[in-house]
Amino acid sequence: MKGFERSPHPQISRMASSTRQPQGARPAPPLRPGAPSVRAPSVRGPLFWAGGLLAAAIVALIVFLLVSGPATYEYRLLFKTAELLVPGNQVDVGGVPVGTVTAINYLPHRNEAEVVIELQSPPAPLHAGSSAEIKYPSLSGVANRYIAISPGPNNYRELPSGTTISTAHTSSPTDLDEVFSALNPPTRHGLQQVIKGFAELYSGNEADVNTTTHYFAPSLRSLSHVFAELTRDEKTFTSFLVDAAEATSIIGAHSESLRDLIGNADRTFTAIASEREELARGLEVLPEALQHGVRTFSALHGPLAALEHLVNVSKPDTKTLPILLERLRPLLSEATPTVEDLSTAISRPGPHNDFAEAAQELPKLAKQLESASPAAVRAERESLPNTNFFGPYAPDLEGLFRDFGQATAYYDANGNYAHVLPVFADFKYNEATNTLTPTTPAAGLEGLQTGQLRRCPGAASAPAADGSSPFTDEGLLGCIAQEAP
């Protein structure tokens, strides 16, 4: 870029020159005709140099890519068979072509096929855990095969170029011809009949079959994941198979019992089927029963809490329970003969000599009582007014007849025996002088009372603190509580 010369546009030239003159400087003299031009200062700045560097970097990157091209990695894949696979077949990752088959070698000492492939970067380099599988698009194009790579996780170690992937991580397809060749003519004929039967079965249901087929591949893929999980821990899976075989052998050894079990189950289900109406009614009321059960279980919270409290309170007693049981052991040992005698009394061999046979006679007694009891009850009710009065005095009467002539006391209504003897004092106590003075027989009988003919039951003993004696039956007896012997 050259300096500013005289511009054919004077206005632009003046603007350029005016912007370059420092403040307070002299104006430059005008150019004379024929005089040499004066070069103006350069206008290159940082922006100019940055743009130049960026352009140079882009050009260098384009040249590098054109010269070097994408990086390639070579891997050797070992397959049990590589039939109909030829050099030039594609290598796909997730359905996207990423490489080609460059060579196929047969390894006679290992009876394996070595397939050499070249992969572009990305997805190369591969990582540990990668696997390969020979596939073909459809049954109609079995010759158009390709290799599908399943890369390992990126956090696993990288596999350098030239790495060999063993048959443990590769799989080959099985041709239908091999399957059909393994079948004899009757089996193939039977298979044809099966295929014809499926054709007749699906005739008219093509739409449903197509819908089912749409979900068939995802189901198989899920099933492959299931089998992969089963075989991941091979040791555990092997143990499971061994245990299953042992269980099958044990079941086979008990075939008769199993046959009986199946027969009993068949009879059970037959009996259940015969009661299907009752079962249907039971199923109808089952929801309501379940609702009642839910309410019952909801109401069990309080009783369970109380039961828990009871258990917690009973825990200290359980420590002494063994002691009680130990002490109870001799009692049980001694009670054994008694229990045996009771058992003999209840069911002694022979006629008319035990409680069981006596119980059999009770119905006859009951029939007799049906006619005798009403008369006895009526007689008791009619005699009740006469016996009510003597009831409270029964202890007095009993003491009278039992101890008459032996003692002057008797059992009262409270069951106490009154030990009473007549005592006549020979002296009289004087409280004023605190002295005893002789008394006469007449004075000794001053405290005696006669004519007490209406004493209440229990009057012979000291009155009880709770007022239960002497017994007056709330005044219904007509006795006098103040009369005491």
Which residues, including other chains, have CB under 8 Å from residue 347's CB and lie 6 or more apart? 354, 355, 356
Q: Kindly state the tokens that stand for 455.
A: 């004493």
Residue 35 counted as domain residue? no
389 or 28, which is more confident?
389
Asked if 105 and 116 touch (Cβ cutoff 8 Å), the reply is yes
pLDDT for the residue 178 = 67
H/E stretch holding 164 reads strand 164-165
* Amino acid 479: pLDDT: 79
- 413 versus 451: the higher-pLDDT residue is 451
**288, 194: one domain:** no
471 has a pLDDT exceeding 70? yes
Residue finishing a domain among 255, 281, 311: 255
Query: Which position has the higher pLDDT, 248 or 102?
Result: 102
pLDDT in tens, 20-74: 444 444 444 444 444 444 444 444 555 556 666 666 767 666 555 444 445 789 9
The chain-wide mean pLDDT, for the chain, equals: 76
Answer yes or no: do 405 and 432 share one domain: yes
Whether residues 162 and 78 fall in one domain: yes
246 shares its domain with 270 = no
In the chain, how many domains are there? Answer: 4
User: What's the pLDDT at 252?
Assistant: 80
Residue 345 lies in a domain: no
366: in domain = no
Whether residue 453 is predicted with pLDDT greater than 60 in this model: the reply is yes
- 445 belongs to a structural domain: yes
pTM for this entry: 0.30
Q: Is 273 in the same domain as 235?
A: no
> Concatenated DSSP letters for 238-275?
HHHHHHHHHHHHHHHHTHHHHHHHHHHHHHHHHHHHHT
Whether residue 135 is contained in a domain is answered as yes
Q: Which domain holds residue 443?
A: 393-485
Identify the DSSP state of 169. Answer: G
Whole-number pLDDT of residue 132: 93
- Report the distance separating Cα 258 and Cα 222, nearest Å: 35
Q: Are residues 269 and 240 in the same domain?
A: no
In a domain, 472, yes or no: yes
In a domain, 94, yes or no: yes
Mean pLDDT of 215-233: 78
Check whether residue 168 and residue 73 sit in a common domain: yes
Determine the pLDDT at residue 5. Answer: 39
Identify whether 332 is part of a domain.
no
Boundary residue ending a domain (269, 299, 329): 299
pLDDT in tens, 329-361: 888 888 888 888 888 888 888 887 888 888 888
Counting residues of the chain whose pLDDT is more than 70, the rounded percentage is 73
If asked whether residues 93 and 152 sit together in one domain, one would say: yes
**Residue range 268-298, pLDDT digits in tens:** 888 888 888 888 888 888 888 888 888 888 8
Percentage of the chain beyond pLDDT 90 is 10
Query: Does 442 share its domain with 401?
Result: yes
- Do residue 283 and residue 263 come from a single domain? yes
pLDDT at 433 over 50: yes
**Structural domain ending residue among the three candidates 255, 271, 286:** 255
226 and 279 assigned to the same domain: no
In terms of phi and psi (left: phi > 0; alpha: psi -120 to 50; beta: otherwise), the region of 452 is: beta
- 206, 75, 88: which is closest to 152 by C-alpha? 75
128 and 205 housed in the same domain: no
Q: What was the pLDDT predicted at 71? A: 78
* 150 has a pLDDT exceeding 50: yes
